[in-house]
Amino acid sequence: MPSWEIFDHQTQEYRDSVLPPTVKARVAVERPRRSAGNDTSGAPATSSAMNNLRGLGTSEGAQEKFGFEPDRIAAAAKELLGKT
């Protein structure tokens, strides 16, 4: 989502077309940080966000520390869906 602030001001019909209410689980991967108060329309969700990058050295270090590796994201999605 490029901008939660703009998205939040769209019509409910538009927001539902982007994030359909019929989708019962979502995984959000947000870099560099999660916006305060953003919501994925009430669906069960899991997310990972980077809030402090100081002292991590490389982007790979930050990726590992905050769980942005593809395998970890896939595992989080499977867990959310009850398919672990």
Q: What is the pLDDT of residues 8-50, one digit of tens each?
A: 999 999 999 999 999 888 887 776 554 444 455 455 555 555 5
Q: How confident is the model at residue 77 (pLDDT cuts 50, 70, 90)?
A: confident
- Tell me the residue type at 63: Q
- Tell which residue, 46, 20, 22, has the closest CA to residue 34: 46
Q: Which tops the pLDDT comparison, 80 or 65? A: 80
Q: Which tops the pLDDT comparison, 3 or 64? A: 3
Residues 6 or more apart whose CB falls under 8 angstroms from that of 4 comprise 35, 38
Q: Is the pLDDT of residue 63 over 60?
A: yes
**Structural domain boundaries of the chain?**
4-80
